[in-house]
Structures are given as structure tokens and as C-alpha cells.
Structure 1
Amino acid sequence: MIRDMLYDDVVRALTDPDFALDVRAADLSGLSDEEVGDLLAAAYRARRGATDAMKGARVAVHQAVRDSEPRYTPDACRRMFEAVVACSEDPDDVVSLRPVVDALTHCTGPWPDLSGPARALTDFLVEKGDATHPYSLLMVASLGGGEALRTAADLLRRDGGAIAMDGIDVVIGLTPAERTVLVQVDGLNTYDPPPNAPDLWRQVAGIPAYVAFARRALEAAADRADALQRGEVPYRADKAFTPREVDMLGQAARMALLRDEPWLPDLLDRLLPGIAVAPTSAKTVPSQALLYELVRAARDFPTPELVTAIRTARSVTRHAGIPRQLDKLLKQVEPALAERNEVALRLSREGFDDDGVLRREAGGGYTAVVTVTETAHLTWEKDGRPLKSVPAPVRRDHAGLVKELRDLVKRVDIQLGTLARALEGGFTVDAVHPYGWWRAELAGHPLARSVVRRLIWEIEVAPGRWRAVLPSTEDLPDAPDDASVRLWHPIRSDADTVRAWRDRLVDGQLRQPFKQAFREIYRLTPAEEETRVHSLRFAAHLVHYRRMFALFRARGWTSRLLGPWDAGDGDAALRALGAGEWRAAFFHTYVDWADGDGVASTDRVRFERRVAGAWREAPLAEVPPLVFSEAMRDVDLFVGVTSIAADPDWTEHGPARAYWERAGFAELSESAEARRDALARILPRLKIADRCTLDGRFLVVRGGLRTYRIHLGSANILMEPDNSYLCIVPSRGKAAGKVFLPFEDDRLTVILSKALLLAADTEITDPSILMQVGKGRAG
């Protein structure tokens, strides 16, 4: 009864200018999906001549949509059409087909007779020349009868290009049910797709006629690119494809990538370089738009072959801005690749033998040898004797072979880097592989083995009993081919086991492809259990904003660029995890306290779960431990790397200076604790071991002039006995470069460089450092 009264009140608030409803107090969460659909139709009609009270009611209805999946009765569907037609009669209103398409695709019964409003909408859009959403237009036009469909098709064929014309004909020939599926991907935001986009594409992949069109379209695009390169088609920069063709080719690529079509890799090897470099000497390209759209398609449904093709296109383009843009997009593609287990770990053998060696004869007793260890290396031999460089006769007579092999080395290194990032990204998916396949295609693969064998793996040798192995140092156990294999993660192990693995890596001088044994882990804290739905663990830090924004991109997070402009004051950086079922949100605010230097303040972290195609806030306790840990690890990285506390040149005063002084020597975060643990193992091996000790959050270095305390989080330095600050601009010293590190960590490198420098402070010649050391010196 109460719910019925609320529904009636909202309807009246949307339709009666004299009725005011306190929408802030109105809780619409209890309404059914059908009632929300009815209200949306009424809200859309209320756009014309709405009072402030009616606008408030409309806002309340649209907020309710975020927490529901609206459904439309046939009557509500009809009323939505009529409302949009009414809006089209207002020259100041903006008309979109999205509301009527949503009503049709979520109608709870047979569609009503919509021929009248459908014809009116079609005529309106055709007269305006508005073909923004071609599939939606064709769907609405088909309801208006044959003449409406013909005029809509004529509009879409106009200046659309041959590929687009083929696509339009395919859509016209689909059944109403197939068209209803396809229309849901029409106008999808390819820059920031909704969480249910993969499900929509899977439905589209079930339409045979559209699958066939996807192949035809991509083959036609590759043929056109080839013709351009041969000079058979006149070249105009960025004009090789029309905007509608770019959209349709992006959709076709997603279809083929989702289906992992076997014909696609060779085709993309032709298409991407063909549109990334001009057929002339010009520093332009045939189609930037298509190039970027294909990379965005790769972000949605990546394959290792496409990543390689994109990197190849990057290497050949002469356009100055494209490599930078491709790098940004690739930083989103490679983390997504990790979540496609069925294709992510696929590598070709490239002609290498089982030991990762490829030999090519060059004549005259000369042999090229490409060896894959941690990376690929090209060397030369003469009658079996190693040579220091490319022999002159080979360089003169076999320049093509030399280039081919150098390109192979680059390509293999790209593939190994992609594989490592895909494996690491698989942590949040908790990816599991069949033992037989893993042993043959990863651990035994001539290229993949260089990455795989330096990682710790768990093999289920008996039901529920996992055995951890490091393939580079021990034989693989006997287990059935269908036994499960997964990457070992420290969050699943006890502290003694983690310590043992860390000791083993350092003792064996084994550098892992990414941080695994020394990986930081983040468990729920009592404070986070108290706040329940958000974490403040990394809140209230001041960071260099532009550096943090770059790290967002590098780690696969998305966020708007903030700054001193409208709506530029705050945002949440987002990253999908756990095969797209979870999403982390890291809130931050632009404060600009640093004289225009671009400083941001960090805020809370929240998690959302994907429910019925939409994101819903989730309590922290319900987030899978691996997903929580990996997301918080990224946020720790953002803060640790970009905090102004780690900036030795910081000179600003006021609140920012107070933060710098407080945070620059604060308690250690999990990443700094991992750094401390690594140092405990590394220090005894150094020539300065007798001058170094670990004391809480500091590495204490005894020099000849003074004793120094290097903070393990910020790398800031205090000098005893007066705790005065020592400013040394970070650098990667040559001495630090010779020290074995079990993982890559810029801050650890800086700390070791400073320690090696300060342990021999009597040899320092830099006057700025000597002046600081001399002040207040004891004795």
C-alpha cells in the first residue's frame, strides 16, 4: 500500500505542476523494475515545460534507474515513444533514440502498434540528417513501415562508404529479434564502455549474418589499406575510411576478437601497419581514427597477436603523436589481456628449439644465434667461434637477414613482456590452468619458459593439496594432465613460507619477471571493518597530480584529467578486476596548493560488484582477498611514488609543507615493508655491510663524517646527531646498478644509491651535499 502511494505521488509530481513532492525524502528503491520503467516514460514526457518541482521528481526517478533494471510494459513502451516524439516538436530540445530503444529491448510483452510515432521519429531524424546511431534508426524505421525504412536506409548510405553500405544492408535483412540484439551495441561508448558490454557483444556474436559481415568488412579494410600502400587508391591523410566505416569496423573487430577467429591475426598484421604509415614520405597516416578504434577494441577483447600488431604499427609510423597515444592505450590493453585466460598466454614458437635457441646460417661459415634467456639476444659465430659483433661480410651481403633477426629480437622481447604482464594481471582472476597444457605450452615453450620458469607455481598434486615449485631450480612433480596449476601468491601462504621463498630467490640471485615472492599483501584492517564500505588507508596524502595521473594510465586505471577548470576538482580513478566482476574506485581531489604545480589530495577507496549488468557498491568484507590486495597495492603505489613527501626539492610552505614533514618520515606502508625485507637480505652481501643497519623505518648508514638515517618509504635522509635534513636529488648510481635486486623497484635503487654514496661521504665532491653535511657536524 505504501509503495503504491509513493508510486502515485511520483507520477503526480511528474505530471501536475501544482503538486510538490519532497524527492530527497522519497525512497524509490522499493519500486519494481516495471514501475521504474513507467516512471521513466513519465519523466521523459515531463521534460517539456517542467517546473522546478517536476525537475526534482525527474532527478529522483533517474537516480532510481542506477539501482534497478527498468522494464517497460507495452503501454509504457508506447508512452515513451510518444514522449520522444513530443520532444522532437520542441526546437530547443535534444532528441535521442536511446530511450525508445531501451524501452523496446526491455519490453515485458508484445510490442504495441508503434507505426505512427515510429514514422514521425524517422521523418524527423531523416529531415535533420541525424544518423548518429544507425542501428537504432533502422530499428525504429522498420516499425514505421517500408517507406520509413527506405528513407532511413538512404540517409545511412549517403557518404557512408562501401563497407558501411554493406553493413546497412546486413542490418536491414536481420529478423526483428536479431535487430533487437544488435541495437544494444549501437552507440556504445568505446572510450568507457559499460560493465555489461561483454555480455552484449556475446549476444551479437550469435547472429550468423553479422559474424559473416564482420569478416567481410575487415578483409575489405585490409584490402583498401594494401591498395593505398601500392598507390592504387589516391592518398589523403586520415581519409581512408569514413566515420561510419570506422565505427562499423571497430564493431566488426570486437566481434572477431571475442570469437578469437583464426583468420584475424594475419589480417590485422596487414591492416594495422597499413593504416599507421603513409604510402608517401609524409608524416601522416591513412586513418588515425581506425587505428585508435582497433586499439580500443583490443582493450575490450585483447589477444597477444593484436598487441604485437599494435606495437609493430607503433614502430613503423612516422606520425609524431601516434606512438605516445598508442602507449597510453596499450597500458589499458595489456592488463585486460590477463583476464582472457583462453588466449592471453598463447605464443608462437618463431622457429626456436626447445632450449630457446634459433640458428640461421649466413654463408661463409657465419651463423646467427638468437638465444632467449630473460630477454632475447642476437650473437654471431664463425665456424662455431663466438664473435663480438656483426661480421662485416654479413653486414654487407646479408643486410636483410640482419634486419630480420633484429626485428625478431624486438618482437620476442615484446611478446615476453606482454606474457609477463598478462600473468601478473591474472592474479585477480586467480587463473587456473590444466597441468598438461601448462607443462607443454608454458613451462616447456621455447620462449615462454624464460618467463614462466622464474615464477613460483602451485600444482594441485592431490585434491585440495597444492605443491609450490620454482621450475628454474627444481624438477616438476608428477601430476595428472588435468591437475590444476596456478601462480603462487603470498596472500595464500604463511609468513615462514614467504620468508623461505624470498631467501631462496636472493641466495640463487634469481630476478623474477615481476614482484611475486616479495609482493606486498593487503588484508582488511580493523579500521576498514569499522568503516565497512570504504577504506581510508591511503587518504589525506598530497601527491604530484600529473605523475599520479600517468600512473593511473600505466596500471590500467581510468580517470578524468583534473585541473583548475569547471568540473575538474575531483574524480574517482577506476579499475575493473576479477574478470570484470569487481571494480575499485580511488577518489582524489585537485587542490593546487603548490603554485600551479598540480597537487592532489587522496581520499577513500571503494569497491563495487557487477550485478545484473550494473555496478553496485559492495562491503569491503565481501571483496575477494586477492582482488582487495591487488587493488590496494596499486593505490599504495600511486601514493608512494607520487607523494610530495618523497620529493627532496619540496620547498612550499603552509599545509603542504606540514604534510611533507609528517609523511616524509612516517610509518612504513606495505610496499616499504617489502623494501625493508629485501634490504635485510641484500645488505650482508654489500661491501658497505659493516656500515649499515636497519632500524625500524630507517636504513642507518655510518659514514666517515656523519651518520645518516634513510627513510625506507620516502628515501628522505636525516643526519645525526641533530636530525637535520639532507637533500640529495635521486639518481640511479652506477654502483647501485651492480647490486642484485630480486625485483625492480625505483625507490629501492635510490635508497641503495644514497647508502653507497653516504657510506663513503669523505669522497663526496658535490659542494651542495658537503655544505649540508658540514653544518652541525659533531666533533
Structure 2
Amino acid sequence: MHLADRLLRALTDPALTPPGEDPHPDLSQVSDEQLGSLLVAAYRSDDPATHEVARLRFEVRRAAAERQPRYTPEACRRMFDALVEECEKSGWADVTLGLDVLENCTGPLPDLSEPVRALVRFSLEKDTVRQPYALLAVATLAGEDTLRTAVERLSRDVGPIVADEIAVVAGLPPGGQTLLTGIDRRNRFASPHGHAWGRTAENPAYVAFTRRALEAAADRTDAIRAGEIPYRADKAFTDREVTSLGQALRVALLRDEPWLPELFDRLLPGIALAPTTARTLPSQALLYEVVRAAQDYPTPELVTAIRTVRRTVRHAGVPKQLDKMLKKADAALAERTDVALRLPRLGFDAVTTGGSPTGGSTTGGSATDGSAVGGVLRRPAGDYMAVVTVAETATLTWEKDGRPLRGVPAPVRRDHAALVKELRDLVKRVNAQLVTLARALEGGYTVDAAHPYGWWRSELAGHPLARSLVRRLIWEVEVAPGQWRAVLPETDEHLPDAPDDALVRLWHPLRSRPDDVRAWRDLLTERRIRQPFKQAFREIYLLTPAEQETRVYSNRFAAHLVHYRRMFALFRARGWKSALLGPWDAGDADDAERTLAAGEWRVRFFHTWADRAGEDELASTDQVRFDRRVDGAWREAPLTDVPALVFSEAMRDVDLFVGVTSIAADPDWTDGGPERHYWERAAFAELTACAEARRDALARILPRLKIADRCALEGRFLTVRGDLRTYRIHLGSANILMEPDDSYLCIVPARRPADRKVFLPFEDDRLSLILSKAFLLAADTEITDESILMQIKRGA
């Protein structure tokens, strides 16, 4: 008997299945059409099921998720009958399963009018109708009367905006209706897959609806403010309208519609401010839904509009909630590289000399110390002048008659308190935008982002807020087809001659020769230029022979023990998604994931909740895998197929997760058992690419230090000669061994390493910690901490 027949019998009549049937069958041996029949049987098989049947169902459903099943006309009919049975049994069935069957039927569709009428009737009898788009799509199979009944029921008591939406969906051809089911959310908190929004954004009828809906919403809030509609707190829109408006806004944001900024200026104050002095909102629900849309598809204009309205909301709890939500929107904006570079100027003027926004020296800072000024804003306050200056960060200072003052003058605090608060908020906002810009530029590596040279000169290199950041990065200009010239604007008086439509992109060491990389690192160190993110000293990760052998997964960062909550926080900070693990059902393992290359690639980092260590939680790390998007679905890809930049940038993140959170980097780890064995093995292990970059930076920094004659780089250690002993600081973990017996020295760092005014070409807490320990140990006779002295003198 063929495998497919045996599995079908096991699902439909398990009593006839012989014992010892393989619980993990190789479903690659069944055809797509056979898999479709198995999936229908898996859906219909009765509960409660034996363990073997339950396992087989799982295997069939997993195979169906990885492949696209096909369905015979008979299987189509059986699936719709199964949906009706499910409605009768549980009161609801997933209608989108039926749509998938219809899309992938291998022959003429059977007569489905009877089961479809039953499905529609069951659904419309409920107080809340789930999956309205899918229901409209299948209702057409039962005739005009059934479709008309569905439209009338779905448009009842939901508000005119939703009624318009239902009419649009009902008027679409079947294929268009099916595509829209991807964004058909059970509630406004659900988050459909990104490709579903992308398909919807290509539907002209729904795109037209999005503008009508959002403008109708703004018209309604205008009417409430004018007193034409009675004001009721949080009742400006029905619940379903809030959900529909959230969907419409996401589609418009994804398309980056040019009419949106003007609409934000009307809609957001309209939903956030009561027309009276009340502390309530016309629609708190829609305000939060707008911010959730900004978390999915942010634009600089929307984030700015939310921050503006946040300052005017009267409700005590709303600003705090908006602040939490805006953190996610800021992080998402940095990932959306196609719009994140569009910075508002906020009234700042560029500060330059020589008439060029990109070349030569700058007023207010030297071009050789990384302190060049990008923009300045001046605001009078009586006899005083407030000056907001943008260099590496934005700062607020005060002047009188052109002379700088130490702090805020007392008369200004007394008479211009609102202005002081406004400017302090502005400084925070500019600094947040600089962080977002840096993350967006860095995120452009995986899409190999390139920009027109003319636009880059005016909107990035010449932008008053972006200028100081952009000048400290290395760029490549395509001066001739396929010929790229690297330039660091901070040190180059003149940029390359190239037409406005030439391309410019960020330089990456993976595309450069080792000699060129060394030259850029030397230049940054000599000119004391701190880059906004690690670029010249950026780690690169190339495919190893072991990874070629394992083919579809990498074990490079497997088998580490990490502080789980710290790693989970890093996932969020770096734009990765992961479920929170813990000692509960299904909480033992997950794969953190991040999409790269404009959504074309996905990296997954597997990890497992391990144990508790006191109040701490530990996790163990596992494989890294990559998936490519094929026909709207993820398909696992061999590592050799992953683009080099995508692979390198993804592995760089994983190296960061492990390196920062590993218990091997915990200097006072004292627990025993297998954790201690891991700590002893990993705390002084071979250097990763991240630690190698740290070593390269130290090689350039050490000769400039006062303690240079006491330091030497030896393999994976920085050796420091003190007067009492000689110490070896591991460049990966920052843990310390003491000569001559390699005894361990525990130094628990302060919350932040001491600032010794040592220039670092990039931000690296571990590098700062290593230098801090080096300075301490080079003068070990001056150490006063008894716990450290006891360890040193014990073997001296």
C-alpha cells in the first residue's frame, strides 16, 4: 500500500492501522495533491485522538505549512463539509481554509452552494462575525441572495466607514477578496504577516477606500470639535471602525502616501483632545490603534505627529502609555530604511564655512576631532538666548550678549519655564532622531542601500541634523559604472565629482581589501573620529567549512549558557522577535527571528530555557538558520545561498547576543555544576569576530596611553604589568588571570566603567571595561579595595 494511502487510513480509521506505524513519516514522498487529501482528513479526524493520530495530524499540518497542498474537487467538497461540521460542533470554523482549497483546486469546482450557505448562516447568527472578508469571499459561491444577506448583516451597527469597507470588499472579484483575507484581523491587537499588507497595498479599490476612510475619520473629529456632533468620551468611532481604520492606515503608511502628513495634523488632535476642557479623549482606542500602526509601518511624519499630540493630551495615563509605545515605533522606523532617512529640519540652520554643506571645516568644532557642528537653532528668552547645537548629540546652552553661561539663568527659569521645557523636549527628540537615523543607515547594509548622489548631498550630508553624523561615516560614490570611490567627508575637503544621479552607499569592510580596512582604521584613530556605529572596525563573518558541511544551519554560536532576560531585552533592542520563555507549558524553546534585506530573508536563532540560578534565568543557545521568501512563504535556504552581507550582519547580531549575555562574561559567577564547567571553558576561549575587532582597536589605542609601557597584546589577552603582579585580561569576556599561576582575579565592574577620557573610535562597553581594568591594574599598589587586594596578594 502506498504511503499516502496508509496515512489516509491512519487518519480516517485508526483502528485498522497496524501497530508500529512510523510516527514520523517522510511526507516528502507524497505529492502535493495527496498532501491536500491528508490535510482534509487531518482536519476532519475526530477528537479525542490517540497519541499516534495526534502526532500524525501535527506532521501533516507542518508539511502543509512548508509546502502548498493541492486539492481534488472531491477534497474541496470534503473540506467544506468539514467546516460545516466544525461550526455545528464548536460554533466557528476557519473559513480561510476553505479559500485556500478553492485557490488550489486541481479541477472544476464542485457545487458548494449548500455547505457555503450553512457556513454563512452559522457565522451571521453570532453577535460578532469573525473573518468578514473571508465570509464575503465564500458567500459569492452561494449566489447573489447569500452575498446580499452577508453584506447587510456585516454593515449593521458598525458605522459608515465599515459599511463602505464591506461594500468595497463585496464588489471585488474573488481573487481580490481572497487576498484581503490576509489582513482580516480577529481583533485590533492581532498582527498579520507583512506580505499580507503588501498584497493589499496593491489593490486599487482598497487603496482608494483607505483615503476615503481616513479622511472621513478626520471629518468626523472636525465636526465633533465644531460641536456639530455631540461629544461623548471615547465614542467617536465604533470598535469595528477603529479596527478598519487601523487597517486602512497601515496600507497607506506602507505605500507612504503623500497626503498622510496633512491628515495626521487633523486627525491626531481630533482623536486626542476633547472639544471641552475634559481630560477624556474623543477616541482613546483609535489613538492607540494609530500608534500600533506606527509600530508596524512608521514614517517620520507620523512619529513626529504622535509626539506632538502626546504633549497636549490631558488624560493623565495616556502620555505614559504613548511613551512606551513610541519606543517600539522608533525601533521600527530605524528598520524601515526607505523612509527613515527623511528627517524633518525642525527649524535648524546648517552651520558651515566655505559655502559647502559637506566639505571643509565647520564653525563650532574641528574637522579632526569628531566634534563638527551639524546645525543650530536659536530662541530668544528676554535678555538671553537659547542655543540648541547638534554635533555628535544635541545640546542646549544659554548665552547673554554672545557670552556662554554655565546653566539656565534664573530669570529664564522664572519667566520662560514653558520655553525651557519645550527646548529640553526638542533636544530629546533630536537625539532620538539621530539614534533612529544611525540605526536606519546601519540597517541599509542588508539591502545594499544606495542613494542618488545629489539627494545625498542635500538631504543627508547637508541636512542640519544629519550632517554631523553622516560626515563621520565612510561612503562610496560610483564615479564611473562599477567604479566606487570611498570618502570620509569629515576628513576630505572636497567630495568626488559625480553627477546628481550617480549612486552613493555606505562603505562596508566586507567589500574592501584588508589593506584598505587597515588604512581607514588608522585614519579614524589618528584623527580621533568616533563613528556613530561600528563601521571601519566592523566585524565580518564569512561562511566556515563547518557551516558548509552542516549546509542549512550554523552551530557557530551554539552550546552557550546566557543570562536569558538580558538576551531577551537585546532581541527587542535589535529588532528581533521572540516569545518569552520560562518554566511553563510550551515555554521551553523558541527561535528569535529577524527579517532582513527588505523582507526577502529571515534569520532564526534557536535557544532553550535552561534553568534558574538563584534569581537569574539561564538559556542555552542552539542553531542559526536562514529562510528565503518564495511566493509569499518562507522556505529554508542553504547557507551558501545567503547573500554575504545578509549572512555577516545576521551573525554579527547573534555574536552580540551571546557575547554580551553569556555567563562567561560574568566575573563573579560562582555556581557549580555544569554551568561552572561552561564558565571555565568559555571565559577564556578563542576570540570571536567581535573580540578580534576589539583587539584591533586596542592595538591602535594602546600606544597613545600613559600606561602603554606596561601593556602588551598577546594572543587573546591584554597583558598588564603591575608592581605586585602581572595580569592577563581576556579580550572577549574581560575576565582576568594573574601570573605566574593563572589564578583568577574577580573584579566586579561598576555599573558604568570609569571614564578616563580615552578616545574610542566606536562605542563598546566591553572595550571600555577592559581599559578601565588595565588602568586599575597598572597601578595595583594604589588599589584600596580590600576584596581585590586579598586576591592579588594571595599568590604574589
Q: TM-score, normalized by length of structure 2?
A: 0.87
The alignment status of 1:595 with 2:614, answered yes or no, reads yes
- Report if the CA contact (8 A) 1:29-1:67 is conserved: no
Counterpart code for 1:415: Q
- Report if the CA contact (8 A) 1:380-1:389 is conserved: yes
Counterpart code for 1:122: V
Structure 1 counterpart of 2:539: 520
Of 510-519 and 672-681, the range deviating more from structure 2? 672-681
Partner residue of 2:181 out of 180, 183, 187: 183
Report the Cα offset of residue 466 of structure 1: 1.3
Structure 2 counterpart of 1:378: 396
Report the Cα offset of residue 125 of structure 1: 1.6
Report the Cα offset of residue 230 of structure 1: 9.6
Of 248-257 and 720-729, the range deviating more from structure 2? 720-729
The alignment status of 1:423 with 2:415, answered yes or no, reads no
- Distance in structure 2 (CA, Å) of the matches to 1:287 and 1:667: 57
Structure 2 counterpart of 1:764: 783
Structure 2 counterpart of 1:580: 599
CA distance 1:651–1:98, shift in 2 (3 Å): same
- Distance in structure 2 (CA, Å) of the matches to 1:283 and 1:697: 61
Of 79-88 and 429-438, the range deviating more from structure 2? 79-88
CA distance 1:768–1:30, shift in 2 (3 Å): same
- Distance in structure 2 (CA, Å) of the matches to 1:450 and 1:729: 36
- Report if the CA contact (8 A) 1:23-1:56 is conserved: no
RMSD (Å), alpha carbons: 3.4
Partner residue of 2:341 out of 335, 345, 349: 345
Structure 2 counterpart of 1:203: 199
Q: TM-score, normalized by length of structure 1?
A: 0.89
The alignment status of 1:114 with 2:112, answered yes or no, reads yes
Counterpart code for 2:162: A
Structure 2 counterpart of 1:141: 139
The alignment status of 1:414 with 2:432, answered yes or no, reads yes
- Distance in structure 2 (CA, Å) of the matches to 1:715 and 1:230: 64
Partner residue of 1:650 out of 669, 675, 678: 669
The alignment status of 1:705 with 2:702, answered yes or no, reads no
CA distance 1:189–1:364, shift in 2 (3 Å): closer
- Report if the CA contact (8 A) 1:569-1:589 is conserved: yes
Report the Cα offset of residue 429 of structure 1: 1.0
The alignment status of 1:437 with 2:488, answered yes or no, reads no
Structure 2 counterpart of 1:87: 86
Report the Cα offset of residue 467 of structure 1: 1.0
CA distance 1:436–1:107, shift in 2 (3 Å): farther
Residue aligned with 2:635, SS: strand
C-alpha deviations, 1:561-600, integer Å up to 9, x for none? 1111111111111111111111111111111152352111
Report the Cα offset of residue 383 of structure 1: 4.1
Pairing 1:429-468 to 2, within 5 Å after superposition? 429-468=447-486
Pairing 1:283-322 to 2, within 5 Å after superposition? 290=286, 293-310=289-306, 318-319=316-317, 322=321
Extract unaligned runs of 5+ from structure 2: 352-373
Report the Cα offset of residue 215 of structure 1: 2.5
Structure 2 counterpart of 1:78: 77
Residue aligned with 1:598, SS: strand
- Distance in structure 1 (CA, Å) of the matches to 2:781 and 2:555: 44
Residue aligned with 1:443, SS: coil
Residue aligned with 1:29, SS: helix
- Distance in structure 1 (CA, Å) of the matches to 2:254 and 2:742: 59
- Report if the CA contact (8 A) 1:732-1:750 is conserved: no
- Distance in structure 2 (CA, Å) of the matches to 1:283 and 1:29: 61
Number of equivalenced pairs: 767
- Report if the CA contact (8 A) 2:273-2:282 is conserved: yes
Partner residue of 1:685 out of 701, 704, 717: 704
Partner residue of 2:497 out of 468, 478, 493: 478
- Report if the CA contact (8 A) 1:219-1:267 is conserved: yes
- Report if the CA contact (8 A) 1:246-1:289 is conserved: yes
Residue aligned with 2:460, SS: helix
- Distance in structure 2 (CA, Å) of the matches to 1:257 and 1:378: 33
Structure 2 counterpart of 1:749: 768
Residue aligned with 1:369, SS: strand
- Report if the CA contact (8 A) 1:455-1:470 is conserved: yes
C-alpha deviations, 1:79-99, integer Å up to 9, x for none? 3222211222324x7522121
- Report if the CA contact (8 A) 2:303-2:326 is conserved: no
- Distance in structure 1 (CA, Å) of the matches to 2:280 and 2:539: 45
- Distance in structure 2 (CA, Å) of the matches to 1:732 and 1:593: 23
Pairing 1:216-231 to 2, within 5 Å after superposition? 216-222=212-218
Fraction of identical pairs, as percent: 67
- Distance in structure 1 (CA, Å) of the matches to 2:462 and 2:258: 24
CA distance 1:352–1:599, shift in 2 (3 Å): same
- Distance in structure 1 (CA, Å) of the matches to 2:275 and 2:660: 43
- Distance in structure 2 (CA, Å) of the matches to 1:36 and 1:648: 54
- Distance in structure 1 (CA, Å) of the matches to 2:444 and 2:201: 25
CA distance 1:772–1:57, shift in 2 (3 Å): closer
Structure 2 counterpart of 1:619: 638
CA distance 1:732–1:226, shift in 2 (3 Å): farther
CA distance 1:61–1:540, shift in 2 (3 Å): closer
Report the Cα offset of residue 175 of structure 1: 4.5
- Distance in structure 1 (CA, Å) of the matches to 2:51 and 2:726: 69
CA distance 1:522–1:277, shift in 2 (3 Å): farther
Structure 1 counterpart of 2:68: 69
- Distance in structure 2 (CA, Å) of the matches to 1:113 and 1:187: 29
- Report if the CA contact (8 A) 1:304-1:418 is conserved: no
Structure 1 counterpart of 2:165: 167
- Report if the CA contact (8 A) 2:562-2:661 is conserved: yes
- Report if the CA contact (8 A) 2:592-2:605 is conserved: yes
- Distance in structure 1 (CA, Å) of the matches to 2:586 and 2:345: 50
Structure 2 counterpart of 1:257: 253
- Distance in structure 1 (CA, Å) of the matches to 2:790 and 2:282: 58
Report the Cα offset of residue 36 of structure 1: 3.6
Structure 1 counterpart of 2:745: 726
Residue aligned with 1:90, SS: helix
Report the Cα offset of residue 652 of structure 1: 0.9
- Report if the CA contact (8 A) 1:23-1:60 is conserved: no
Partner residue of 1:369 out of 364, 379, 387: 387
- Distance in structure 1 (CA, Å) of the matches to 2:330 and 2:190: 15
Counterpart code for 1:621: T
- Distance in structure 1 (CA, Å) of the matches to 2:689 and 2:225: 53
